[in-house]
């Protein structure tokens, strides 16, 4: 059994009927888990820049690049953000706290500088593009971090007090949230794991995958 097959068995709780090739990329993806216990060690110099480069290497619709990220390392600011996010203590302890932003403000500024009408910024389509692109960028950063032996966890609780978080980060209008539609999007902790984290099981592959041979795609949801 290949290492990828072993990871698939760990993910789904049962062996797969097929053996697949192994490579480092598959190992990183299939080994993903959320990590909330970690070492206090600082990240090596250049790690943040590498993660941002990985994020920017994600697909971008029409190459609009409507995604930004705020890197928070200041302890006092992490303390304030932790308080706004249900007082989650691992936010305070993480050496690096990344806030991923769906950013239409930068695009609006560029349009204004070039005397181009910005009416389309009000369209839902642009908000969806920014939302999807931000999620893709953040997940690219997750994969890059995990490939370096780092642990990550998404924090959605900042959206519970969006306006206060926006004020803390001094976000301008037009910086949209990933899920709540207004200011801050999903947040990511980057940290050194202090111990192996639990790998959550997933539903069977067939439940997610919609086959062209099926009469109705609803079977993939309810089956």
* C-alpha pair distances (Å), 89 with each of 38, 93, 100, 122, 151: 12, 7, 20, 37, 16
C-alpha atoms less than 13 angstroms from C-alpha of 182 in its C-beta half-sphere? 10
Sign for the CA dihedral angle at 123, 129, 135, 137 comes to negative
Q: What is the pLDDT of residue 152?
A: 86
Q: What is the pLDDT of residue 57?
A: 92
Q: What is the mean pLDDT of residues 141-155?
A: 89
Higher per-residue confidence, 55 vs 213? 55
Q: Please report which helix (H) or strand (E) contains residue 127, including its range.
A: helix 124-147
The whole model's pTM is what?
Answer: 0.76
User: How do residues 30-61 score in pLDDT, each as one tens digit?
Assistant: 888 888 766 777 788 888 889 889 999 999 88
Query: What are the chain's domains?
Result: 1-31+199-223 (no CATH), 34-195 (3.40.109.10)
User: How do residues 156-179 score in pLDDT, each as one tens digit?
Assistant: 888 888 888 888 888 888 775 443
Q: What CA–CA distance (Å, rounded) separates 5 from 13?
A: 11
């Amino acid at each position: 059994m290949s290492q990828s097959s072993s990871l698939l068995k760990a993910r789904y709780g049962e062996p797969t009927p097929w053996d697949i090739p192994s490579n480092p990329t598959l190992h990183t993806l299939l080994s993903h888990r959320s990590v909330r216990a970690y070492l206090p060690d600082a990240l090596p110099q250049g790690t943040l820049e590498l993660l941002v480069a990985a994020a920017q290497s994600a697909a971008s619709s029409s190459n609009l690049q409507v995604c930004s990220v705020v890197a928070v390392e200041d302890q006092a600011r992490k303390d304030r953000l932790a308080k706004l996010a249900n007082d989650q203590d691992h936010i305070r302890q993480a050496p690096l706290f990344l806030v991923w932003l769906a950013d239409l403000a930068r695009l609006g500024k560029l349009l204004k500088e070039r005397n181009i009408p910005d009416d389309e910024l009000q369209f839902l389509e642009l908000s969806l593009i920014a939302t999807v692109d931000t999620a893709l960028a953040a997940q690219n950063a997750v994969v890059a971090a995990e490939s370096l032996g780092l642990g990550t966890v998404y924090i959605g609780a900042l959206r519970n007090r969006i306006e206060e978080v926006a004020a803390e980060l001094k976000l301008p209008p037009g910086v949209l949230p990933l899920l709540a539609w207004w200011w801050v999007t999903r947040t990511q902790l980057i940290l050194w794991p202090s111990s192996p984290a639990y790998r959550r099981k997933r539903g069977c592959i067939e439940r997610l995958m919609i086959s062209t041979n099926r009469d109705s795609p609803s079977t993939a949801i309810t089956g």
